[in-house]
Amino acid sequence: MIAEVIVDVLSANVDRVFDYEIPEGLDVKRGSRVAVPFANRNVEGFVIATKSCSSFGGNLKRVRALLDELPALTEETLELAQYMARRYHILLAESLRLFIPAEMRGGRVSEKTVAMVRLPVGRSLEELKVGLRKGSVSQERILEYLSENGDCSTAELNERFSGLRSLEKKGLVEIYTLSLNREPYHEVSGRGKAVELNEIQSQVCEQILSQPGGRFLLHGVTGSGKTEVYIRCIHECLQLGNSAIMLVPEIGLTPQVVRRFRAEFGGQVAILHSGLSKGERFDEWWRIRRGAARVVVGARSAVFAPVENLGLLIIDEEHEQSYNSESSPRYRTEEIAAYRTARHGATLLLGSATPLVETYYRASQGEFKLLEMAERANHAELPEVVTVDMRREIRQGNNSIFSQELSDRLEQVLSRGEQALLFINRRGYSPVVVCSECGYVAKCADCDVTLTYHRDEELLKCHYCGAKYHMLTECPACGSKHIRQNGLGTQRVVEQLRERFPKARVLRMDNDTTQNKDAHLTITTKFANREADILVGTQMIAKGHDFPNVTLVGILDADLSLYFSDYRANERTFSLITQVSGRAGRGYLKGSVVLQTHTPNHPILKLAREGDYRSFYEYEISVRRATFFPPFATVLRVMVSSESDEEAVECLKRVFAPVMELKKKYPDHFLFLNKMKAPVKRIMKRYRYQILMRVYGAMTEQIIGQIYDVLDSVPGKSASAYLEINPASMY
């Protein structure tokens, strides 16, 4: 037999099928991973078909080894990989890689096993003892121990006794291998409480369940109990013998969610996300592949999970940016979910308190059935939102980062023994180091980005490439020793809180404090157990947490995300404020939100204050319609980069010329076309340029296809170029 193999080598030159002969006795199937000789190396490859003869003229090489017992790829995932390669113009090898855990490649992890010892079946202890020489006390003890305790690991026996080896040689005990399962979050036991669905939740579930294979958008305010709806639908799905996948944003995969699902589905749940150890991820993945786990909860990449009989796919917090892969291979999670659910006739369910304007629009056009849950499940009221004009605070002589209103309310919360969350939008507002004399700002040597000051390590860090620099003692430009820090980081907020409220117990949660896997769990658990009064954090604290004792949320600076120069700035700000506010008053205590801003009259802030998604949507969709932005047009960006500035410019011109021709060919479909430097001009030593376009109308797909063709043929060796479609961010 012959195997058609895609070798796991990322190069356009080898992006095709190679035939290999399958040696006798090797059970190679479509979907198997194999080791094959390739260009004098041993590489891994995916078998995409088998056949009885090859049309290749020369001598065929042979498959060296079969890497897994069970083919890693299913029939469906193979098809999907091929679809993705076509759809997103990526190499098939690149697309196939998405379907297995990264650590499986190159055999970097394998099953975890232990050597176990047992007594031979069907022989009594007395019988076995007869086989021993007189005086072998220790060997006799081993037999007795096994007889009493059942099978033991060799390690345990060797620690307690000697003589195991000779027992084995005599055939008086048997040694075998046991696979262990590394179960993530085993420390999180299933304690979550079961609740009875309220009337709205039941109605929503009924609608979803009565229409298998339907597509739904569940718009439910924060705290409306979407999770319970998901759980109910997953139960039904399992009842029918099907599997379910629930995607959550990486930072939304909180211990609370895991606990709730563990309690509900026990060992049927597999958890997939990047915080797991390699071994854990490997084991979870195989539990899914073998069909042992039929409920998958995971971040973006779980959309590729190898489930069979998919019955339901949920994308929770569908508005989250992280559902788009912004580095190669670029793909949109929702498109993949749509493909998979269509293939299985499965239900697709998107959920959010603040759906993307585009998604809500598509629902209004009938693409999704819209389901609404307008009230909180436990009848808790949505919090009251108070806006504070920070310009006035300054005029009144308050230069602190806390307005009078926020200070007063914090004081009250502390005195009542309740809890508060303080949120800062670190992304646009990190502490930078500036020379007071000449205005010099510390930047990364490899990226066109200002460095962020980290007080606890006394270091400057680049958030794009991770480079670290010593803190400046004098200005490299003018030699002045007057160096100061600007901006508001989580660390500074914590310091100022300590000054102001010395008795308050403060916790911080951001990228720095959650580097290791369990940090997230530790911090949220501490806070949930009321071991702290105030939690200060970035975007991370905005998602999914349910802390019933939190009655105050402070948004220290609500404007900043409005200044991001892309068309999603409005919806991002609205969504962020709504999500953060949604953390307040979830229990029986009423909550409030203090929103500090320098632009209190901005329409989006007013809409966010009212917390009415529908009004926000009406406003935003009319802006998009009037200005021709998605969903009424498609934003395209070609990003060109190279370590050489000239090469990058050269490449930019080579791509731009044929795109210009396209515009001449379809003049009515281009709203905008121009080339320019990218907003961040250099990242990781590479100079960056962009071609920006907005296209609309029936020829859009055609135009995108032709741009891909240009990109496949034009870029040279030292420059790279790729296309982004409605990019989620454009730095």
The binding site for Zn ion (CB under 5 A) comprises 435, 437-438, 440, 444, 446-447, 462, 464-465, 467, 475, 477-478, 480
Question: Does the footprint of ligand ADP cover residue 220 (CB under 6 A)?
Answer: yes
Task: Find, among 471, 474, 475, 449, the residue nearest to 462 by Cα.
Answer: 449
Q: Taking the complex as a whole, how short is the minimal distance between the CB of residue 380 and ligand ADP, in angstroms?
A: 8
Partner touching 546 among Zn ion, ligand ADP, none, CB below 5 to 8 Å by kind: ligand ADP
Candidate segments 223-231, 402-410, 431-439, 504-512, binder of ligand ADP by CB under 6 A = 223-231
Partner touching 378 among Zn ion, ligand ADP, none, CB below 5 to 8 Å by kind: ligand ADP
Burial pattern 129-159, b for ≥16 Cβ within 10 A else e, equals: eeebeeebeebbebbebbeeeeebebeebee
Is the alpha carbon torsion for 657, 658, 659, 661 positive or negative? positive
Residue 45 or 220 with smaller CB distance to ligand ADP: 220
Q: Give the residue, chosen from 1, 197, 649, 692, that forms a contact with ligand ADP under the rule CB under 6 A.
A: 197
Question: Does the footprint of ligand ADP cover residue 202 (CB under 6 A)?
Answer: no
d(CA 712, CA 720): 10
Partner touching 437 among Zn ion, ligand ADP, none, CB below 5 to 8 Å by kind: Zn ion
Q: Give the residue, chosen from 31, 225, 255, 489, that forms a contact with ligand ADP under the rule CB under 6 A.
A: 225
Phi and psi angles of residue 551, each rounded to the nearest 5 degrees, phi first:
-120, -5
Phi and psi angles of residue 480, each rounded to the nearest 5 degrees, phi first:
-65, 150
Q: Please answer whether residues 285 and 100 qualify as being in contact, where contact means their C-beta atoms are separated by less than 8 angstroms.
A: yes
Question: Does the footprint of ligand ADP cover residue 198 (CB under 6 A)?
Answer: yes
d(CA 289, CA 305): 8
Q: Taking the complex as a whole, how short is the minimal distance between the CB of residue 720 and Zn ion, in angstroms?
A: 18
- Strand, coil or helix: what is 688? strand
Q: Taking the complex as a whole, how short is the minimal distance between the CB of residue 684 and ligand ADP, in angstroms?
A: 37
Q: Taking the complex as a whole, how short is the minimal distance between the CB of residue 138 and ligand ADP, in angstroms?
A: 56
Q: Give the residue, chosen from 95, 227, 352, 634, that forms a contact with ligand ADP under the rule CB under 6 A.
A: 227
Q: What is the x/- site pattern for ligand ADP, positions 372-391, by CB under 6 A? A: -----xx-------------
Is the alpha carbon torsion for 594, 599, 601, 604 positive or negative? negative
Q: Which of residues 339-378 bind ligand ADP (CB under 6 A)?
A: 377-378
Residue 222 or 597 with smaller CB distance to ligand ADP: 222
Note the helical H segments in 266-356: 278-289, 333-344
Q: Taking the complex as a whole, how short is the minimal distance between the CB of residue 435 and Zn ion, in angstroms?
A: 3
Q: Taking the complex as a whole, how short is the minimal distance between the CB of residue 222 and ligand ADP, in angstroms?
A: 4
Give the count of beta carbons closer than 10 Å to the beta carbon of residue 104: 21
Q: Give the residue, chosen from 8, 44, 76, 228, that forms a contact with ligand ADP under the rule CB under 6 A.
A: 228
Residue 224 or 726 with smaller CB distance to ligand ADP: 224
d(CA 319, CA 620): 15
Which tokens hold the place of 455? 């007080």
Residue 137 or 438 with smaller CB distance to Zn ion: 438
Which tokens hold the place of 90? 């990526």
Element (H, E) at 570: helix 569-581
Task: Find, among 654, 674, 659, the residue nearest to 704 by Cα.
Answer: 659
d(CA 224, CA 380): 9
Q: Please answer whether residues 718 and 685 qualify as being in contact, where contact means their C-beta atoms are separated by less than 8 angstroms.
A: no
Partner touching 434 among ligand ADP, Zn ion, none, CB below 5 to 8 Å by kind: none
Q: Give the residue, chosen from 222, 324, 425, 514, that forms a contact with ligand ADP under the rule CB under 6 A.
A: 222
Partner touching 228 among Zn ion, ligand ADP, none, CB below 5 to 8 Å by kind: ligand ADP
- Strand, coil or helix: what is 384? strand
* Residue matched to tokens 């980005």: 449
Residue 191 or 395 with smaller CB distance to ligand ADP: 191
d(CA 684, CA 465): 6
Q: Give the residue, chosen from 180, 195, 394, 477, that forms a contact with ligand ADP under the rule CB under 6 A.
A: 195
Interaction site with ligand ADP (CB under 6 A): 195-198, 201, 220, 222-228, 377-378, 546
